[in-house]
Amino acid sequence: MSSPHDFDFLHGEWQVLNRRRTDFLDPGSHWEEFTATSRCRPLFDGAANIDEIDMPHLGSKGLTLRLFDRETEQWSLNWSSSTSGKLFPPVIGRFDGDRGEFHGDDTYDGKDVRVRFVWSGVSPAAARWEQAFSVDDGETWVTNWVMEFSRRA
């Protein structure tokens, strides 16, 4: 079951290796790799947190606000990019052990997409995040972005 402390592992500073597809909807598109740095801090005694990721390769920063809903025992993950200054629609879900899965709806390149975020392999020293899009309501998924987090010394 999910709890207000599911994301405690993420608090602090991280080095992040990014791999993302050059076309988020094409499973055959090439992958590009780049590094980033991230810093996360807790809010609401752990039931919320905020992080900022600096991605010089993309010339932008990203921000995620995560909020735990105590009634539903689910998290909402709310993303914004410095290039737009707008919040994207949230993905909502929960953890089961050290794996969290979150879903939502958005648009990409003018197409309606189902979005899936997965957090896995979480520990005090490392974690993995991946994003996938579906254009057929979850029948098939294209994993289009993977971040490997390692704790900064």
pLDDT at 83: 95
Tell how strand 99-108 and strand 91-96 pair up.
antiparallel
> Per-residue confidence at 76, pLDDT binned at 50, 70, 90?
very high
CA distance 113 to 23: 14
CB 146 within 8 A of CB 19: yes
Whose tokens are 């909502």? That residue is 92
CA distance 31 to 103: 23
CB 18 within 8 A of CB 145: yes
**Predicted confidence (pLDDT) per residue in 90-144, tens digit:** 999 999 998 999 999 999 999 999 999 999 999 999 999 999 999 999 999 999 9
| Least confidently predicted of 52-56, 103-107, 122-126, 149-153 | 149-153
**Which CATH number applies to 8-23+30-151?**
2.40.128.20
Structural domain boundaries in the chain: 8-23+30-151
DSSP bridge partners of 37? 15, 54
Residue ranges of the alpha helices (H) in the chain?
Answer: none
DSSP bridge partners of 143? 132
CA distance 74 to 92: 7
Whose tokens are 């410095």? That residue is 82
Quick check: 152 pLDDT over 80? Answer: yes
pLDDT at 1: 79
In the chain, what percentage of residues exceed pLDDT 90? 96
CA distance 104 to 77: 10
Burial class (CB in 10 A: 0-12, 13-18, 19+), 77: buried
pLDDT at 65: 98
Average pLDDT over residues 144-153: 94
CA distance 25 to 23: 6
